[in-house]
């Protein structure tokens, strides 16, 4: 079996909360995607900008989120299934990308189709890579300042702390 | 009503993706993320059928298409898994994952539309 969590049998009772929060997140993500499609409705035969941006934004956010929770924070075990698998997975879509492509080819818009075919994976991969890289750099910067902060707080000669304690 | 069917579809599609991914990933030891590949291709096929089928109830189309298939398939996990492949030095696998997923998804969409047009004209 793959990645069984410590002390839990795969597919056992421990799975229920995970599946439940994935469902909850999926409902939210799908709703947000549908809302986006209503606010910026795409023209038939045109470049599907709404789905394009939904996917690119979702990829940027997952790059930021997964670097934060796998390399920096140690959040509750349901955070990743809820937000990563549920919300972002439900928000982004591969099926609409493929079927919109099929429709563009089928209705005689091969140039738009080819542009969309190439632009989505390029932009999505760039977004996830940029977001992950930027998050790692910000995290490294925060760790550095955090260390100085600790040193200062540990230093008994800092007047601020002493003053507050005596008053 | 539209919002209710979208939420319901998303609440089924996302856990279906999670459970399928776990089941598929447990059954191979390749570095390629076959779980995401499978849900994405199946979702493209089903959404293709719904798109080709003219005589589908609009609410059912929203529920199964925008809600369920939209949440069953994912671009964010696909991109992140591809990034992980490049970061772990499996650059060729990353390329194969992108080209293979897009080609298979598009093929499934074409097959689905043709099937939908033939069965539910």
Q: What is the pLDDT of residues B71-90, one digit of tens each?
A: 999 999 999 999 999 999 99
Taking CB atoms and an 8 Å cutoff, what residues of chain A touch B13? Answer: 26, 30, 90
Q: Which of B26, B28, B33, B70 to mutate to test the interface with A (most CBs of A within 10 A)?
A: B70
Identify the CA nearest to B10 among candidates A67, A49, A95, A60: A95
Number of domains in chain B: 1
pLDDT in tens, A58-67: 999 999 999 9
Q: Is residue A4 part of a domain?
A: no
Asked whether residue A76 carries a pLDDT value surpassing 90, the answer given is yes
User: Interior CA angle at A28 toward A103 and A1, to 5°?
Assistant: 90
Asked whether residue A7 is domain-assigned, the answer is: no
Nearest to A116 by CA among A98, A128, A93: A98
What residues make up the domain containing B90?
2-119
Per-residue pLDDT averaged across A100-115, rounded?
A: 97
Q: Which residues of A touch B71 (CB under 8 A)?
A: 26-27, 29-30, 89-90, 93
User: What sign results for the dihedral spanned by CA atoms B41, B47, B50, B53?
Assistant: negative
Which structural domain range is residue A142 located in?
15-154
ipTM of the complex: 0.96
With a cut of 90, say whether residue A160 has pLDDT above it. no
The answer to whether position A19 is within a domain reads yes
Per-residue model confidence as pLDDT tens digits over A10-26:
545 678 999 999 999 99
Look at residue A42 in the predicted model and tell me its pLDDT. 84
Contacts of A62 in chain B (CB under 8 A): 76-77, 79-80
> Mean pLDDT for chain B?
96
Q: Choose among B2, B13, B40: nearest Cβ to A26.
A: B13
Q: What are phi and psi of A9, to 5 degrees?
A: -80, 135
**pLDDT tens, position by position, A116-149:** 999 999 999 999 999 999 999 999 888 887 655 5
In-domain check, residue A30: yes
**A111 belongs to a structural domain:** yes
Mutate one of B75, B98, B111 to test the A interface: name it (highest A CB count within 10 A).
B75
Residue B95, H or E segment: helix B91-119
Residue A21 inside a domain? The answer is yes
Helix (H/G/I), strand (E/B), else coil: B32: coil
User: Number of folded domains in chain A?
Assistant: 1
């Amino acid at each position: 079996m793959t990645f069984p969590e410590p002390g839990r049998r795969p597919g056992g009772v421990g799975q229920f909360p995970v599946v439940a929060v994935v469902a909850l997140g999926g409902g939210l993500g799908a709703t947000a995607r549908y809302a986006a499609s209503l606010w910026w409705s795409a023209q038939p035969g045109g470049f599907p900008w709404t789905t394009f941006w939904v996917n690119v934004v979702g990829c940027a956010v997952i790059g930021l989120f997964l670097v934060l929770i796998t390399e920096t924070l140690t959040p509750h075990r349901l955070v990743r299934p809820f937000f990563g698998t549920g919300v972002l997975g439900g928000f982004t879509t591969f099926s609409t990308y493929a079927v919109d492509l099929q429709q563009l080819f089928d209705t005689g818009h091969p140039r738009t189709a080819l542009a969309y075919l190439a632009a989505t994976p390029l932009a999505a991969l760039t977004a996830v890579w940029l977001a992950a890289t930027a998050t790692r750099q910000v995290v490294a910067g925060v760790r550095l300042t955090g260390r100085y902060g600790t040193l200062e707080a540990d230093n008994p000669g800092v007047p601020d702390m002493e003053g507050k304690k005596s008053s | 009503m539209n919002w209710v069917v979208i939420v319901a579809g998303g609440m089924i599609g996302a856990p279906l993706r999670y459970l399928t991914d776990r089941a598929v990933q447990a059954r191979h030891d390749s570095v390629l993320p076959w779980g995401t590949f499978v849900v994405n291709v199946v979702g493209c096929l089903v959404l293709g059928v719904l798109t080709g089928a003219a005589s589908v109830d609009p609410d059912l189309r929203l529920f199964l298409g925008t809600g369920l298939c939209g949440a069953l398939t994912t671009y964010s996990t696909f991109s992140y898994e591809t990034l992980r492949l490049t970061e772990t030095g499996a650059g060729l696998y990353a390329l194969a994952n992108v080209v293979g997923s897009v080609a298979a998804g598009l093929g499934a969409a074409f097959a689905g539309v043709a099937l939908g047009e033939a069965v539910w004209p």
